[in-house]
Amino acid sequence: MSTATAPTTLAEAVSSPAAPAAAGRVARLLRVRPLVAVLAAFAVAALWEAYKLLGPEQGWSLGETRLLPRTTAMAMPHTWDVAARLLEPVSGATGAEALWVAVLRAGASSAGIALTGWAIGVAVGAVLAVTMQRLRVVESAVLPLVVLSQTVPLIALAPLVRSWGSRLELGAVTWQPWMSVAVIASYLAFFPVAVGMLRGLQSPDTIHVELMRAYGAGWWTTLVALRLPAAVPHLLPALRLAAANAVVGTVVAEVATGLPGGLGRMILEFANFAASDPPKPWAPILGAVALGLLAAGLVALLGRALHRYRRTEVAS
Amino acid sequence: MSTVQEHPTPAAHPRGATAVEIVGAGRVFGGRSAPVVALEDVDLTVAAGEFVSLIGPSGCGKSTLLRLVADLDQPTSGTVRVFGGSARDARLARDYGIAFQQAGLLPWRTVRANVELPLALAGTGRASRRERADELLAMVGLTEFAEHHPDQLSGGMQQRVAIARALADSPSLLLMDEPFGALDEMTREHLQAQLLRICAETRAAVVFVTHSIPEAVFLSDRVVVMSPRPGRIRQVVDVTLDRSGAATPGSGPHDDAGDDLRTDAAFVAAVAAVRTALHGGGTGPRGVDLR
Ligand SMILES: Nc1ncnc2c1ncn2[C@@H]1O[C@H](COP(=O)(O)OP(=O)(O)OP(=O)(O)O)[C@@H](O)[C@H]1O
Ligand SMILES: [Mg+2]
């Protein structure tokens, strides 16, 4: 035995100077998620600047269709110009707040709506998934509708939701315009949850289902003790998708319904400055990107809390 | 040593002295075009407190028969009654504990929480649940692994957790499908002795599937020898051994009482009888361990 192992250790000793140690250190650093995110942001900025430097001034078109964007300062301002612009006041008016503060305020408003939409979407998606798991009939009837629902264009939906909402009588509560936006966001958010959670609820092995059956566990007990824990690995990516969808849905619905205060309206307003102040329209877009990253980060934290449900059994 | 065994008078179960009563049971899988007859005309009665082993070539329907008793599958003909009622009632009343051919542990639960599962489902309090789980984990030699998760355990260790889980609720009927298949000889013998002890203590009836003739003979009051497809009961071998020594826990895995028994003349004779029964009918003893 010892003679058999000796050559391998010798070979390892010869071929392993400092290189593996350094590689290990890089690998360890790359496991620090936030650091990777910052590096990725810099990579995107570098790509932007590289294209701006090397790409054709007037872009590149095939007939009428422009396939590559223009690289002029108006179309693609320098990343550092955008960063500098964030620190300057929003407008020339006296006492105007800094651009980044305005973006932050609009972002907070959108974030609140997106979170509400996400929560509603997750709740609706979860209820749908559980009902579909419980009743085969519901699954075959509702699942196609769920898929179909996502083909309705958001822009068409927004005015409808707004007019329905304004006609709603909710007792003491009057329908607020932001609620329409939250509903539209939830419309995008429920889909991945319904589909992902259904798959998760259906994922337990026969042996586990039979184990619960053997111990006389009813549907509810099986759901709580087996199906929900087993659904977690499928649910987490669904929740992350739902978060991203909620952010996109919120911003687009803000644009479509013209709700003031959020990032969507800001994007609309600042678009007018594309010629006079090119970096300015990019500020709310950056805000929307940051909001999306924040949402994904929050779901990742949730995933960390649920990590014990992500274990898998090795085949025995 | 080879005296005629006195069956201990089984403790009266609230619903009758027979644990399992199978009459004319058959199970046919598949459609009308290509039916697979897994079981045909099986009659078997297991008294309360009795230990019955099922042995037979691979694919002869042992697991299927066990699943009928567990009400995880229904016979296509005949009846299965458990403790005087339907198999379904017994299942809903949590009358039996079961260990499948695979361990089937829940990956997100710790080893201890897996053992506690039947107790949790029965609504047992936290403290007594924990106490019972620790006791069983000590028995299967996994005390140090109580806080581990199943993916951190070897296949044999997972199997031992599954055995502990089956015993957790002190069921009056134990259904075990090759529970010791993945274990080494020492652990296997230790657990065999422990199982005999537990059955003597709790007066539990056991239906035990195995591929090992010595194991079947060592453990059982009766060994049911099955024939390959269609699965039928070919012969029932009565085993009469004095297990008074083997059932008491010895000093270690190799307790002398068990070793004595395994060299006993009655033991050897019963092994020979089961082996002859398995060979009978001309078909080879496929998948059967003939040690
Ligand atoms: N769900 C099923 N559908 C169709 N056929 C089945 C099913 N379950 C079992 N069978 C068939 O029934 C027969 C008996 O299977 P069973 O699992 O009971 O065998 P076994 O005696 O437990 O074998 P082993 O010792 O290998 O575990 C086999 O021929 C198998 O193909
Ligand atoms: Mg089997």
Q: What confidence tier does B161 reach under pLDDT thresholds 50, 70, 90?
A: very high
Pairwise CB contact (< 8 Å): A313 & B107: yes
Rounded Cα–Cα distance for residues B96 and B88 (Å): 11
Q: Please give the pLDDT value at position A3.
A: 41
Residue A307 sits at the chain B interface (C-beta within 8 Å): no
Q: Ligand 1 atom 4: the closest Cα is on which residue?
A: B29
Helix (H, G, I), strand (E, B) or coil at B82: strand
C-alpha span between A189 and A133 (Å, rounded)? 19
Residue B290 has pLDDT above 60, yes or no: no
| Whole-number pLDDT of residue A311 | 75
Q: Are strands A65-68 and A60-62 parallel, antiparallel or unpaired?
A: antiparallel
Residue A51 has pLDDT above 70, yes or no: yes
In a domain, B8, yes or no: no
Ligand 1: atom nearest CA of B211 is 25
CATH of the domain at B89: 3.40.50.300
Q: Which of A60-64, A177-181, B197-201 comes out lowest in average pLDDT?
A: A60-64
Give the model's confidence band at A214: pLDDT under 50 very low, under 70 low, under 90 confident, else very high.
very high
Question: How far apart, in Å, are the Cα atoms of A107 and each of A113, A260, A284, A290?
Answer: 10, 12, 8, 9
In A, which residues are within 8 Å of B108 by CB distance?
229, 232, 308-309, 311
Kindly indicate the confidence band of residue A194, based on its pLDDT and cuts at 50, 70 and 90. Answer: very high
pLDDT at A259: 85
Find the domain containing B82 and state its range: 18-289
Number of domains making up chain A: 1
Q: What is the DSSP letter of A223?
A: I
- A156-171 pLDDT per residue, tens: 788 888 888 778 777 7
To test ligand 1's pocket by mutation, which of B64, B178, B232 has the most ligand atoms within 8 angstroms of CB? B64
ipTM of the complex, rounded to two decimals: 0.83
Residue A181, pLDDT > 80, answer yes
Give pLDDT, residue B30.
Answer: 84
Contacts of B105 in chain A (CB under 8 A): 313, 316
Tens digits of residue pLDDT in B224-281: 999 887 888 888 888 877 666 555 544 344 455 566 676 677 888 888 888 888 887 5
Q: What number of other Cβ atoms are within 10 A of residue B133's Cβ?
A: 23
Looking at residue B6, its pLDDT comes to 44
Chain mean pLDDT for chain A: 82
CA A282-A106-A255 angle, to 5 degrees, is 70
Structural domains in chain B (count): 1
Distance B188 CA to ligand 1 centre (A): 25
Which of A50-64, A74-88, A123-137, A302-316 has the largest mean confidence? A123-137
For ligand 1, atom 8, name the residue with the nearest CA. Answer: B64
Q: What is the CATH number of the domain that holds A131?
A: 1.10.3720.10
Alpha carbon distances (Å) from B120 to A215, B117, B145, B170: 10, 5, 20, 13
Alpha helices in B54-210 (DSSP H): 62-69, 87-92, 111-121, 126-139, 155-167, 185-202
Which of B194-221 are b and which e, b meaning 16 or more Cβ less than 10 Å from the residue's Cβ?
bbbbbbbeebbbbbbbbbbbbbbbbbbb
Looking at per-residue pLDDT, the higher value among A310 and B204 belongs to: B204
Is the pLDDT at B158 greater than 80? The verdict is: yes
The reply to whether B4 falls in a domain is no
Query: Averaged over B199-225, what is the pLDDT?
Result: 90
Which residues of chain A neighbour B117 with C-beta distances below 8 Å?
211, 215, 225
- Residue A207, domain member (yes or no): yes
Name the pTM for this structure: 0.80
Q: List the domain range (segments joined by +) for residue A283.
A: 99-309
Closest approach of B162 to chain A, Cα-based (Å): 11
Comparing CA positions, the residue from B187, B173, B180, B182 lying closest to residue B93 is: B173
Q: Give the pLDDT band (50/70/90) at residue B8.
A: very low
> A44: how many CB neighbours lie within 10 A of its CB?
12
Which tens digit of pLDDT belongs to each residue from B26-43?
A: 898 887 788 888 888 999
Instruction: Give the nearest ligand 1 atom to B60 CA.
Output: 21
For residue B3, being part of any structural domain is answered with: no
Least confident of A9-18, A191-200, B75-84, B159-168: A9-18
pLDDT digits (tens, 9 = 90+) for A229-264: 999 999 999 999 999 999 999 998 888 888 888 888
Q: What is the pLDDT of residue A199?
A: 93
Cross-chain Cβ contact A316/B103 below 8 Å? yes
